[in-house]
């Protein structure tokens, strides 16, 4: 078993590093053609061609009716723990990013903790929609650096299909379900080099699920609403800005990035970000074709795919970038 650097008030770890990654996709894979056929039955006109051309998505996975956010998260977490080569009992912090929790409360992180057979360590959810994993990773990094934790499980898990209005073709073709996880542990070596988080609540309305519960009833509309073009425009601007800012903080340049692992919302946003950062697309991890947009799960899922395929190897410098509802955005630069 690897043991993370011991922490004390006098010798705090200087860094946190990713010890292992894991991912999980529900078994039900739905292609664009299958989805278009399903939508046609209710009079909604879309096509594989439109979806693939405008977004890069070819298929997505949908969770089974009895599969919960916590089930996906546990499957991804087990794989990350196995990859890290550590005992689950050594996990001393669980942070889970999601907008599709099992319950209003308690947090899905607490449910995951119990399903993993753990107890005692802090466990909480982070709600930053598609930026959620970058937020969760930054919080875990900060807690490890201050000595509050030494081995964290950081998870992004979503059952976004539950929020979709299958009568709205502008949104229902875009999203999928899945989970990704990392074990982040204290280390003398980097690790996470720099990170930055942002939010601007003026843009709440361009991407939201406005419903809630009140008096035992649903209040408002509990399906996802998005002004796609407005989100697109903001996303391409903030993703460039935050990447540059994080590079400056870390004393690195675009040339130091081995892999850009952006939130997987739309291939055209990824192409635009890569172009602005002067990176060729063969330095960008792209899973949107097979996963669709899995919100907080998209970055750790893409990371796990890249690690398991051998694209990302130890020593590579990775730029992780998220953007989503809130409006929220952020980036983490790390040496894997």
Footprint on residues 78-117 left by ligand UT7 (CB under 6 A):
none
**Considering only 109-117, 136-144, 226-234, 252-260, which stretch makes contact with ligand UT7 by CB under 6 A?**
226-234
Helix (H) or strand (E) holding 249: helix 228-250
Q: Quickly count: other Cβ atoms within 10 Å of residue 151's Cβ.
A: 26
Q: What is the dihedral of CA 143, 81, 301, 243, to 10 degrees?
A: 30
Question: Considering the rule CB under 6 A, would residue 167 count as an interface residue with ligand UT7?
Answer: no
Is residue 35 a contact residue for ligand UT7 (CB under 6 A)? no
Which tokens hold the place of 170? 């502008």
CB of residue 92 vs ligand UT7: minimum separation in angstroms? 31
Give the shortest CB-44-to-ligand UT7 separation in angstroms: 8
114 is known as an active-site residue: no
Q: Which one among 2, 37, 170, 253 touches ligand UT7, defined by CB under 6 A?
A: 170
Q: Closest CB to ligand UT7 belongs to which residue?
A: 228
Q: Assess whether 130 carries a catalytic annotation.
A: yes
Catalytic residue among 32, 263, 266, 291: 263
Out of 31, 54, 198, 316, which residue is the one contacting ligand UT7 (CB under 6 A)?
54
Minimum CB separation from ligand UT7 for residue 101, in Å? 18
Q: How far apart are CA 194 and CA 30, in angstroms?
A: 37
CB nearer to ligand UT7: pick between 45 and 65: 45
Catalytic pick from 69, 86, 110, 130?
130
Report the distance separating Cα 274 and Cα 298, nearest Å. Answer: 17
CB crowding 15-31: b at 16 or more within 10 Å, else e: bbbbbbbbbbbbeeebe
- Give the β-pairing of 177-187 and 15-24: antiparallel
Q: For residue 184, what are the contacts with CB-CB under 8 A and spacing of at least 6? A: 16, 17, 18, 19, 137, 140, 141, 144, 151, 152, 153, 154, 192
- Out of 30, 33, 50, 258, which residue is the one contacting ligand UT7 (CB under 6 A)? 50
Say which DSSP state 325 is in.
T
Say how far apart CA 241 and CA 65 lie, in whole Å: 40
Distance between CA atoms of residues 171 and 83, nearest Å: 35
List 32, 69, 110, 293, catalytic entry: 293
Kindly state the tokens that stand for 297: 């799960």
- Indicate whether 134 belongs to the interface with ligand UT7 (CB under 6 A): no
91: Cα separation from own chain's centroid: 20
Our CB check for ligand UT7 shows the closer of 69 and 91 to be: 69
For ligand UT7, give the closer residue by CB, 3 or 170: 170
46 binds ligand UT7 (CB under 6 A): yes
Q: What is the sign of the dihedral through the CA atoms of 249, 255, 256 and 258?
A: positive
For 127, which DSSP code?
A: -
| 86 given a catalytic annotation | no
Q: Say how many residues touch ligand UT7, by CB under 6 A.
A: 21
Task: Tell the burial category of 327 from Cβ atoms under 10 Å away from its Cβ (0-12, 13-18, 19+).
Answer: buried
Stretch that binds ligand UT7, among 152-160, 215-223, 230-238, 301-309 (CB under 6 A): 230-238
H helical segments located in 116-155: 132-145
Task: Verify binding: residue 243, ligand UT7, rule CB under 6 A.
Answer: no
Query: Is residue 17 part of the contact set for ligand UT7 (CB under 6 A)?
Result: no
Enumerate helices (H) and strands (E) in the chain, giving the number of each.
Answer: 10, 15
Residue 169 in the binding site for ligand UT7 (CB under 6 A): yes
Tell me the C-alpha distance between 23 and 42, whole Å: 33
Residue 7 or 46: the one with the smaller Cβ distance to ligand UT7 is 46
Q: How far is the CB of 130 from ligand UT7 (least distance, A)?
A: 4
| Residues in touch with ligand UT7 (CB under 6 A) | 46, 50-51, 54-55, 130, 169-170, 173, 207, 228-229, 231-232, 235, 265-266, 269, 293, 323-324
Catalytic residue set: 130, 263, 293
């Amino acid at each position: 078993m690897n043991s993370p650097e011991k922490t004390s008030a006098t010798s705090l770890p200087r860094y946190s590093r990713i010890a292992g990654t894991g991912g999980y996709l529900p078994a039900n894979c739905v292609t664009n053609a299958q989805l278009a056929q399903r939508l046609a039955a209710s009079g909604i006109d879309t096509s594989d061609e439109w979806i693939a051309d405008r977004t890069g998505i070819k298929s997505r996975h949908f969770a089974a009716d009895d599969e919960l956010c916590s089930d996906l998260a546990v499957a991804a977490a087990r794989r990350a723990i196995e990859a890290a080569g550590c005992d689950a009992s050594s996990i001393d912090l669980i942070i889970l990013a999601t907008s599709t929790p099992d319950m209003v409360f308690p947090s899905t992180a607490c449910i995951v903790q119990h399903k993993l057979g753990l107890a005692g360590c802090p466990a909480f959810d982070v709600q930053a929609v598609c930026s959620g994993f970058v937020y969760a990773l930054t919080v875990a990094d900060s807690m490890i650096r201050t000595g509050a934790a030494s081995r964290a499980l950081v998870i992004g898990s979503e059952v976004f299909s539950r929020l979709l209005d299958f009568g709205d073709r502008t949104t229902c073709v875009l999203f999928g379900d899945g989970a990704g996880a990392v074990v982040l542990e204290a280390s003398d070596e980097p690790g996470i080099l720099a990170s930055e988080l942002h939010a601007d609540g003026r843009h709440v309305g361009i991407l939201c699920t406005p419903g809630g519960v009140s008096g035992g009833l649903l209040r408002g509309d509990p399906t996802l609403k998005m002004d796609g073009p407005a989100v697109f425009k903001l996303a391409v601007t903030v993703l460039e800005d935050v990447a540059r800012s994080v590079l400056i903080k870390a004393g690195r340049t675009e040339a130091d990035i081995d892999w850009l692992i952006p939130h997987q919302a739309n291939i055209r946003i990824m192409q635009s970000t890569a172009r602005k950062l002067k990176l060729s697309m063969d330095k960008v991890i792209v899973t949107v074709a097979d996963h669709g947009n899995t919100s907080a799960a998209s970055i750790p899922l893409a990371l796990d795919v890249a690690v398991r395929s051998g694209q990302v190897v130890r020593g590579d410098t990775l730029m992780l970038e998220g953007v989503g509802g809130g409006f929220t955005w952020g980036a983490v630069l790390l040496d894997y």
